Chains A and B, each alone.
Chain A
């Protein structure tokens, strides 16, 4: 039980850690100053949530690892994030499409977790849900604005959706860890979040004049750790560089 809970908490924390790091890569180079600040704010929100999820994961594991240890001293095969969040930023449109696709799931997931039988999980979800509500609002506006924008922005947003949509399915496919969480009333059944997500997606994409890909093929292997894409390892060499070069350095 505690092993499955540890896995599950790592999934939540690694999602926010990896996506938080990804969007922090925009800091200082986003297309406009206001978007730069907003993305950095989102990154900070996600890293803050990471500290809570991975902190709790370390407590549950009870082997003396704290959030920093888990974030900076695990290698790529120990990460449990969704494949979607480790995908490279691409252009600004693709970054915001990835954000939108993730935020839609993230918000539904956190709302489910607010009713968790585990008080600490429910408390973290409740704190995070306000931040993520805003993330989704902002990403939705951008997806609609760029999708229903110029010919160029529309083309880029459609390309981003086509590229990222195969990573959406993984969020809703349950495995043994999910099933254990569901049976202990700790977390919602991933599949139960899909209808609401699809309805939200369809409404936003219609407003954004974007076409949802017909093929429902889903890449898997991120949250189980079985098969990350090549991009995560490269990202970790940047993110973990300092701890790899100077193990246990502090400041």
Chain B
């Protein structure tokens, strides 16, 4: 939904994209909780004039086929994003510390979905 000229994250340090076009509605990130889902998941983004419009647009763009039971709309400018250049520093140190990876536990069936 977004175009290169738009500026989803202009308020954050992470990824400057330039200013939004004057005639363009603000960008919103849409999260939807599915029928059996436990948490809201990011499904995409769209443009809308205000929060109410964003929910309505999300209903039309993302939930036509019975995908969801709850919608969150978040102004894209309110999202702080990590920078791709810092990927190495942020994530790689964990790679060689397997003892931190939570893969050595058996999860009892009674716990259900985690």
Specify which chain B residues have a CB less than 8 angstroms from the CB of A137 in the assembled complex: 56
Let me know if A141 and B64 touch, CB within 8 A: no
Q: Quick one: CB contact mask for A49-72 with B, threshold 8 Å, 1 for yes?
A: 000000000000000000000000
Given A32-B25, A32-B47, are A37 and B53 also a contact pair (CB < 8 Å)?
no
- A41 at the A/B interface (Cβ < 8 Å)? yes
A34 CB-CB contact with B under 8 Å: yes
The CA of A251 and the CA of B109, in the complex, are separated in Å by: 51
Q: Does A173 contact B (CB under 8 A)?
A: no
The answer to whether A73 has its CB under 8 Å from any CB of chain B is: no
A38, B56: Cβ atoms closer than 8 Å = yes
Residue of B nearest to A41 (CB): B60
Select which of B1, B46, B47, B64 is within 8 A of A41 by beta carbon: B64
A34–B49 touching, CB < 8 Å: no
Q: How far is the CB of B27 from chain A (nearest CB, A)?
A: 11
Q: Is A138 an interface residue (CB 8 A)?
A: yes
A33 within 8 A of B: yes
CB distance from A24 to the nearest CB of B (A): 15
A34 and B64 within 8 A (CB): no
Q: Mark B39-76, 1 if CB is under 8 A from A, else 0.
A: 00000001111001100110111001000000000000
In this assembly, does A145 line the interface, its C-beta being within 8 Å of a C-beta of chain B? yes
Chain B positions within 8 Å of A141 at CB level: 52-53, 56
CB distance from B46 to the nearest CB of A (A): 5
How many Å from the CB of B68 to the closest CB on chain A?
Answer: 15
* Cα separation A32 to B56 with both chains bound (whole Å): 14
Q: CA separation between A141 and B54, bound complex, in Å? A: 12
Q: Is the beta-carbon distance between B57 and A38 smaller than 8 angstroms?
A: yes
> Shortest Cβ distance from A44 into chain B, in angstroms?
9
**Cα distance, A134 to B25, chains bound together (Å):** 22
Give Cα A33–Cα B46 distance, bound, in whole angstroms.
Answer: 9
Give the chain A neighbours of B53 by CB distance below 8 A. Answer: 141, 145
Query: Nearest residue in A to B53 (C-beta to C-beta)?
Result: A141
Residue of B nearest to A142 (CB): B53
**Which residues of the other chain, B, contact A145 by a CB distance below 8 angstroms?**
49, 53
Distance of B2 from chain A, by nearest CB (Å): 10
Which residues in chain A, 67-86, are within 8 Å of chain B measured between CB atoms? Answer: none
Cα A145 to Cα B50 with chains together (Å): 10
With A32-B25, A32-B47, A145-B49 in contact, is A37–B60 under 8 Å at CB?
yes
Known: A32-B25, A34-B46, A145-B49. A138 touches B56 (CB 8 A): yes
Return B104 CB to nearest CB of chain A, in Å.
Answer: 47
Q: Which of B1-56 contact A (CB under 8 A)?
A: 1, 25, 46-49, 52-53, 56
Question: Nearest 8 CB-CB pairs, A to B?
Answer: A38-B60, A34-B57, A41-B60, A37-B60, A34-B46, A37-B61, A138-B56, A34-B47
Chain A residues within CB distance 8 Å of chain B: 32-34, 37-38, 41, 134, 137-138, 141, 145
Q: A34-B57, A134-B59 are in contact. List 14 more A-B contacts (CB 8 A).
A: A32-B25, A32-B47, A34-B46, A34-B48, A34-B60, A37-B60, A37-B61, A38-B56, A38-B57, A41-B64, A137-B56, A141-B52, A141-B53, A145-B53
A-B contact pairs, 21 of them (CB 8 A): A32-B25, A32-B47, A33-B1, A33-B46, A34-B1, A34-B46, A34-B47, A34-B48, A34-B60, A34-B61, A37-B57, A37-B60, A37-B61, A38-B56, A41-B60, A41-B64, A141-B52, A141-B53, A141-B56, A145-B49, A145-B53
